[in-house]
Structure 1
Amino acid sequence: MTNGATLSASQFWNDNGNQATEFIIFNPSGYVNLYINAVMQEGRIYTLTPTTLTLSPSNSTIYRGTPIIIESIGFSTQ
């Protein structure tokens, strides 16, 4: 990952088991967590847009088949 990586939303599946078409981002009332191999990652190593996940360059390796989970949490007041 010395050059970083960009993954499209279509490389992920949603909670219903369907291929994702976009990432849901609750802004400003929410947040996003990224887990790689079940370990929460620091926010500064990635950027999420509705269509892509971009991982910053680092001196690390993510092997094929490693679970990558994006958790998007939104809040509303009633």
Structure 2
Amino acid sequence: MAILVRLDRVLLEQRMSLTELADRVGVTIANLSILKTGKARAIRFSTLDALCRELGCQPGDILSFEPGPSDYADDEDSYGGA
């Protein structure tokens, strides 16, 4: 997947633990851990909003898009080519 989660970097910059963030946001440590390791398949906008509010950051600080060659091939198949 071309979406990368950079929550660990933001937590390090904020000097905040995953436990503290979980308490502040109201999300379980297990769910934040799944997000942090990049294993999450989705995130609710309300959760992203809460993370950004508590970390004082933008969504782009937590999530980034870095396509690889196979990602472009998938796009052409999905949209009928260029």
- TM-score higher than 0.5 here? no
Higher RCO (C-alpha 8 Å, min separation 6): 2
* Structure with the higher fraction of residues in strand conformation: 1
The structure whose Rg is larger is 2
Give the TM-score normalised by structure 2: 0.30
What TM-score results when the alignment is normalised by the length of structure 1? 0.31
